């Protein structure tokens, strides 16, 4: 595996004029920073979010910040599989091609188990299955041009989860464990889908990224299980604010994975320092995790994902 250039930044991004990019969760935080960088380098960007007013405000801010007009917003509830499929239909109808897809939208540790209308636990629905549906449904666009990139945004939280296949409906709900597992599944599916595109002779590259520890508005809704860790984290951030990096810096691993000609498929990129918490993009040390190389487990996750989503 080839490591990224040392101290890779937005300035190293190529010209993206004429390239189409879709960023889910692009209305705020790290997703907003990704969208701004893509727009600044000439891409035609579509951001996806649930709140229409928030999305319209984000478009206005991005136009003002970049002095570019090629940005639009589509409202979609990514927890609802019908809405995700309708979003895919809309994108298939409106776009001539799709060069970059960043599955970034996420929900972090609701205190109580929440089940969607599809019978899927909320974090699994948004963090994982929405991106799975979009990637497979948008294959006709992704294969129209060479060297397209799909990025699944994972998390440093995927460190020590235990993936099982009986938790998609939220049974035995534990906020931290479910969040970590949904993020691990994102990284695993990047590996599996990259394999499938290679086997099909397509130049679509699928990889993963982690933003590290970012100063964003994504917050944990505290439960008994997460309250003390979150309070300790909040105190640490107050005493040592430098632990967290800005959304612009946190966006770099995904931007590298999505745009750099040296990026590789089937791997995860993350910040290089402090065990993946902050820094410039680097190959993540967790690329050696057994789950990312266990072919039987990858195949099982792929089959289960198709069964849950009907894709």
DSSP string computed for 215-265: -SS------HHHHHHHHHHHHHHHH-GGGSB-HHHHTHHHHHHHH-TT--T
**pTM, to two decimals:** 0.91
Q: What confidence score (pLDDT) does residue 221 get? A: 44
Bigger pLDDT: 222 or 272?
272
Non-local CB neighbours of 110 within 8 Å, separated by 6+ positions: 122, 123, 175, 221
Q: What is the pLDDT of residue 272?
A: 84
Return the pLDDT at 291: 87
Q: How far apart are CA 55 and CA 32, in angstroms?
A: 10
Instruction: Provide the pLDDT for residue 52.
Output: 97
- Compute the distance between CA of residue 125 and CA of residue 164 in angstroms, rounded to an integer: 15
Q: Is 73 part of a structural domain of the chain? A: yes
- Which tokens sit at 54? 């928030």
Q: Is residue 8 part of a domain?
A: no
Task: Tell me what pLDDT residue 109 has.
Answer: 86
Sequential DSSP letters for 72-118:
EEEE--TT-HHHHHHHHHHHHHH-S--SEEEE-------SS--B-TT
Q: Which of 14-23, 157-166, 183-192, 212-221 has the lowest mean pLDDT?
A: 212-221
Residue 156 confidence (pLDDT): 76
Is residue 3 assigned to a domain? no
Tell me which residue of 138, 144, 108, 184 sits closest to 46, measured CA to CA. Answer: 138
What is the reported pLDDT for 137? 98
259 found inside a domain: yes
The domain that holds 110 is classified in CATH as 3.40.50.720
**Percentage of the chain exceeding pLDDT 90:** 71
pLDDT score of 128: 98
Total domain count for the chain?
A: 1
A 10 A CB-CB count for 254 gives 32
pLDDT bin (cut points 50, 70, 90) of residue 223 is very low
CA atoms within 13 Å, Cβ hemisphere of 60: 6
* Percentage, residues of the chain above pLDDT 70: 86
Count of other CB atoms within 10 angstroms of residue 68 = 17
Check residue 77 and give its pLDDT. Answer: 98
Alpha-carbon distance of 202 to 119, in angstroms, equals 34
- With a CB cutoff of 8 Å and minimum separation 6, the contacts of 87 are 48, 74, 76, 78, 134
The Cα–Cα gap between 115 and 69 comes to 38
- The residue range of the domain holding 37 is 16-309
Which tens digit of pLDDT belongs to each residue from 128-141?
Answer: 999 999 999 999 99
Residue 256 covered by a domain: yes
Residue 9 is assigned to a structural domain of this protein: no
Over its C-alpha atoms, the chain yields an Rg (Å, rounded) of 18
Instruction: Inform me whether the pLDDT recorded for 59 exceeds 70.
Output: yes
Is 276:284 a contact under the CB 8 Å cutoff?
yes
Q: What digits encode the pLDDT tens for the residues 226-280? A: 444 444 444 444 444 445 588 899 999 999 999 999 999 999 999 986 565 668 8
Residue 115 resides in a domain:
yes
Residue 7 lies in a domain: no
């Amino acid at each position: 595996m080839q490591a990224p250039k040392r101290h890779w930044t937005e300035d190293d991004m190529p010209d993206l004029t004429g390239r189409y990019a879709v960023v889910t969760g692009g209305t705020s935080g790290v997703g907003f920073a990704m969208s701004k960088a893509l727009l600044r380098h000439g891409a035609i960007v579509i951001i996806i979010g649930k709140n229409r007013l928030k999305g319209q405000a984000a478009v206005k801010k991005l136009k003002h910040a970049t002095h570019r007009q090629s940005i639009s917003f589509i409202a979609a509830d990514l927890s609802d599989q019908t809405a995700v499929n309708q979003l895919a239909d809309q994108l298939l109808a409106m776009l001539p091609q799709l060069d970059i897809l960043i599955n970034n939208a996420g929900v972090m540790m609701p205190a109580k188990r929440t089940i969607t209308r599809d019978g899927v636990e909320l974090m699994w629905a948004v963090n994982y299955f929405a991106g799975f549906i979009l990637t497979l449904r948008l294959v006709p666009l992704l294969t129209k041009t060479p060297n397209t990139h799909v990025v699944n945004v994972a998390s440093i939280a995927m460190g020590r989860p235990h993936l099982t296949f009986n938790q998609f409906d939220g049974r035995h709900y534990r906020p931290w464990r479910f969040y970590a597992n949904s993020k691990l599944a994102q990284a695993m599916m990047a590996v599996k889908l990259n394999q499938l595109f290679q086997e099909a002779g397509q130049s679509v590259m699928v990889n993963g990224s982690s933003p590290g520890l970012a100063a964003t508005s994504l917050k944990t809704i505290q439960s008994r299980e997460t309250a003390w860790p979150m309070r300790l984290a909040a105190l640490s951030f107050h005493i040592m604010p430098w632990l967290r990096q800005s959304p612009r810096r946190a966006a770099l691993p995904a931007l590298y994975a999505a745009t750099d000609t040296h990026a590789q498929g089937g791997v995860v990129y993350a910040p290089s320092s402090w065990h993946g918490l902050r820094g410039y993009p680097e190959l993540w040390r967790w690329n050696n995790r057994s789950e990312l190389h266990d072919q039987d487990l990858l195949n099982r996750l792929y089959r289960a994902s198709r069964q849950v989503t009907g894709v």
